[in-house]
Amino acid sequence: MSRHALAVAIVGAISLAAFQAMAETTVKLHAASSLKAAMSEIADAYEARTEIRVERNFGPSGLLRERIERGEAAEVFASANMTHPTTLASTGKALPVVLFARNRLCALVQPKIKVNSSTLLETILRDDIRVGTSTPKDDPSGDYAFELFDKAEAMSPGATARLKAKALKLTGGRDSEAAPEGRNKYGWIMENKRADIFLTYCTNALLAKREVSTLSIVQVPEPLAVGADYGLTVMNGASPDAFALALHILSPKGQAILVYHGFDAPGFTH
């Protein structure tokens, strides 16, 4: 669905809902963990403009979708992939999904590891290198990392099986250990030497490096590159203010905030 079409649908829904119910004082936002910094700033701006509070729930997109499916109250869902919100839309729980941001994978690397983009694959295949990922299915970041492993097969036969077998699923799962309050979980994991190389979103890698300056960030080479499309939807029955928040995320100001935090935003113009 195009951004324009969704915007028209949202405006229509706002107009209808305005006649059906009084505006709520709180909007319930569920968003991927990787969006926390950017979406918090967007929500703060929305609150300042409207005086409507945004109740924020951040976590792995797959687990957030499951919570919504089980009946947890939600209004706006910003996922780190298109699949989870599309699943909700396909069952009638949500509107059609719009692409609102893009991300990509990078390698977050311990200072002792000598690696660059051209040697990344041979390095993560080494027996002595511990490779960290998020948890596939629960967290799209893990799915994207395993997609990278699939691509590795064409460059090094047998690489896919070896990488999937050795991957340490350190974040994004139901039982993943949480980082201390206020800490970036990837910076904390790497600081505590849980992995030698961690495959995560480039936006996460930048935040981790701000906390742990000795870490380095290596770009994934083009043959292994994996892009992450982020999907936005609004739940059926959401309040008018929830639709207004979705429009705020899609607005030039909302898109500019995403770009500031390292995302590619399709609605951003210089």
pLDDT, one tens digit per residue, over 10-63 is 555 544 444 344 445 899 999 999 999 999 999 999 999 999 999 999 999 999
CA nearest to 3, candidates 259, 256, 252, 175? 252
Which tens digits make up the pLDDT trace of 122-154? 999 999 999 999 999 999 999 999 999 999 999
pTM: 0.85
The Cα–Cα gap between 225 and 166 comes to 20
**Tokens in use for 122?**
């041979």
The average pLDDT across 165-177 equals: 96
- 70 secondary structure, DSSP code: T
Residue 254 dihedral angles phi and psi, to the nearest 5°: -65, -45
- Contact status, residue 101 vs residue 259, Cβ threshold 8 Å: no
The average pLDDT across 248-265 equals: 95
Q: Which residues pair with 25 in a beta bridge?
A: none
Residue 153 dihedral angles phi and psi, to the nearest 5°: -60, -35
Residue 173: its pLDDT value, please?
96
The Cα–Cα gap between 223 and 7 comes to 35
Q: For the chain, how many residues are written?
A: 270
Residue 19: its pLDDT value, please?
38
The Cα–Cα gap between 224 and 153 comes to 10
Q: Which domains does the chain show, CATH number per domain?
A: 3-102+229-260 (3.40.190.10), 103-224 (3.40.190.10)
Residue 9: its pLDDT value, please?
57
- 115 secondary structure, DSSP code: -
Q: Give percent above pLDDT 70 in the chain.
A: 90
Q: Which residues pair with 201 in a beta bridge?
A: 105
Lookup result for tokens 């950017």: 38
